[in-house]
Structure 1
Amino acid sequence: MIINKVLNNNVVITSDADENEIIVMGRGIAFKKKVGDRIPEETVDKVYRLDNPIVLNQFQELVADLPVEYLELSNQIIEYARGELTSPINDTIYISLTDHMHSAIERAKKGVTVKNVLLWDIKRFFPDEYRVGQKTIEKIGDMYGVDLPDDEAGFVALHLVNAQTENEDQGNVAALTQTMQEIINIVKYFFKTTFDEDSVYFYRFTTHLRFFVSRMLNQTQHRDETDEELLAMVRQKYHNAFQCVQKINTFLLKKYVYQMSSDEQMYLTIHIARLVQKNR
């Protein structure tokens, strides 16, 4: 391998046998080396083959300023995630997860925590990704001696979910967007209102909606775990929101032949109730 560009002492850009640009990592791999020098293959710990040129450029910018241990940690977590999750993970995870873990560790060292407003949804609807997130914060604790809260496990899970949904083809993305808008319109018309689409409450609602619609379109319905007594309590407390959900359920059944589970009805009811209440 011949060095095309040195990013730091541990990461360089080179080319494979087919002249495709790749990024290779190894401790001290570029120490006292320059463009044109040869790299012994036995010193290479990791090869990044990023097909998207935009992702490749973003990754180059990121790794140029990061200590090698962050990249090693990220690689370990991503390989573990790929073994645990069934859906393919987009290469953008190398950027989003590495950058997030670096920021989370630096925040923790300064005693700064960030609340994850979607943790409830993430735990409930993406348990596999959340377990990877828990493994991540355990590993960070072992390596750096910092205790990250469950909120960070949720953030890691969210990056994994996003990296999986980015693999959907454009047709699925269009269907996802259209269905989300149809449901939002039902809520608007039912309550005869509009929403501040820049608010955190609308963001929470649409994120939950994205998770729900994505599962619906992929025909991976969430297994019911809610007992009828709890659903009845939610129905009574948030009567109007529940009636709105029944209209959404009827619409989905008619257009997509999809029957919402009790769990899905309950959680969507709670999210709509919160959104409408905060919108007043």
Structure 2
Amino acid sequence: MIITRLLNNNVVITLDSNDEEIIVMGKGIGYQKSKGDTIDEEKINKVFRISNKEVSNKFQELFNKIPMEHMKLSSEIIEYAEGVLGKKLNDGIYISLSDHTYTAIKRIKNNITVKNALLWDIKRFYKDEFKIGMKALDIIEEKTKIRLPEDEAGFIALHMVNAQLNEEQPQVQGITKLIEEILTIVRINFRIELKEESVFYYRFITHLRYFAQRLFSNNTYNGDSDDELLSIIKGKYPKEAQCIDKVKLFISKKYNYELSSDEYIYLTIHIAKLLQDSKL
């Protein structure tokens, strides 16, 4: 491997076998080296392959202000998260998470804590991501001997949520608020408290997350509408359909978003299963 750009003594830019740019990390890998020199491959302990050029440039800038150990720490958390979620996260997570964890550790060292106003909602609506956040606190403590507060697990969870969305600047707070608003309509309509540990509740929340993402990105679900199926669903689940009518009216007025027939059907079926689980 030939150095194409030297970032610092521990990080260099080179090309892989397919002539694609990669960021290579290793203690002293760039020491007394220049552009065009050969890399000692035995010193490589981490390789970053970031396809997005803009993200790659920002990531390279980050190396100038964040120690190598913190970059490796974030990379370990991201690899763990991708294994748990079973998907590749957006490249931007390398920047946002590295910057966040580095700043969070600096704050704790200076006895500064930041409360996470969304922590309760994060625990409820993003359970998998919050578990990743808690595991991240374990990883950080193991590597740095510093234990970050639970609020930071919530912040890390939000970074994981962001990294799963396709938007460049996903409105996570808006998505979370919309989910709570729809749940409130369901609770008031049926005068019940939903079983938050139920698998049906989990599936409903998951569906609402993707629905809210579509709403905020103006991306209406355009499946093959089936008016006959919609009529059957309304006839089979009249109470649930009346509830979705309220949801439909609410989001139309507040968010200027028209619920499609397919979304109407899916939401109605999810609520029907929630009610069956609550034995109503």
TM-score, scaled to structure 1: 0.66
Matches of 1:112 and 1:150, distance apart in 2: 14
Q: Which residue pairs with 2:24 in the alignment?
A: 24
Offset of residue 49 of structure 1: 1.3
Q: Which residue pairs with 2:104 in the alignment?
A: 104
- Alignment of 1:258 onto 2:266: yes
Deviates more, 1:27-36 or 1:248-257: 248-257
Change (3 A) 1:63 1:101: same
Which runs of no fewer than 5 residues in structure 1 stay unpaired? 178-202, 220-242, 266-280
What CA RMSD, in Å, does the superposition of the two structures yield over aligned residues?
3.4
- Alignment of 1:130 onto 2:130: yes
Offset of residue 87 of structure 1: 3.3
Which runs of no fewer than 5 residues in structure 2 stay unpaired? 180-205, 215-244, 253-257, 275-280
Offset of residue 158 of structure 1: 0.6
Q: Which residue pairs with 2:211 in the alignment?
A: 216
Q: Which residue pairs with 1:67 in the alignment?
A: 67
Matches of 2:71 and 2:213, distance apart in 1: 32
Offset of residue 95 of structure 1: 0.6
User: Any idea what the Cα deviations from partners look like across 1:113-143, whole Å, max 9, x if unmatched?
Assistant: 1111111121111111111110111222222
- Alignment of 1:91 onto 2:91: yes
Matches of 1:140 and 1:217, distance apart in 2: 32
User: Any idea what the Cα deviations from partners look like across 1:53-81, whole Å, max 9, x if unmatched?
Assistant: 10010000001222111011111111111
Matches of 2:81 and 2:58, distance apart in 1: 22
User: Any idea what the Cα deviations from partners look like across 1:192-230, whole Å, max 9, x if unmatched?
Assistant: xxxxxxxxxxx84554337875333799xxxxxxxxxxx
Q: Which residue pairs with 1:56 in the alignment?
A: 56
**Secondary structure of the equivalent of 2:266?**
coil
Q: Which residue pairs with 2:81 in the alignment?
A: 81
Matches of 2:66 and 2:208, distance apart in 1: 37
Change (3 A) 1:53 1:42: same
Change (3 A) 1:82 1:165: same
Sequence identity, in percent? 46
What does 1:148-187 align with in structure 2 at a 5 Å threshold?
148-166=148-166
Matches of 1:87 and 1:125, distance apart in 2: 19
**Secondary structure of the equivalent of 1:147?**
coil
Offset of residue 254 of structure 1: 4.9
Offset of residue 244 of structure 1: 6.2
TM-score, scaled to structure 2: 0.66
Matches of 1:209 and 1:217, distance apart in 2: 7
Offset of residue 259 of structure 1: 2.3
Matches of 2:86 and 2:112, distance apart in 1: 34
Aligned residues: 211
Matches of 2:12 and 2:153, distance apart in 1: 31
User: Any idea what the Cα deviations from partners look like across 1:4-48, whole Å, max 9, x if unmatched?
Assistant: 111111111111223222110111111121212110222211111
**Secondary structure of the equivalent of 2:105?**
helix
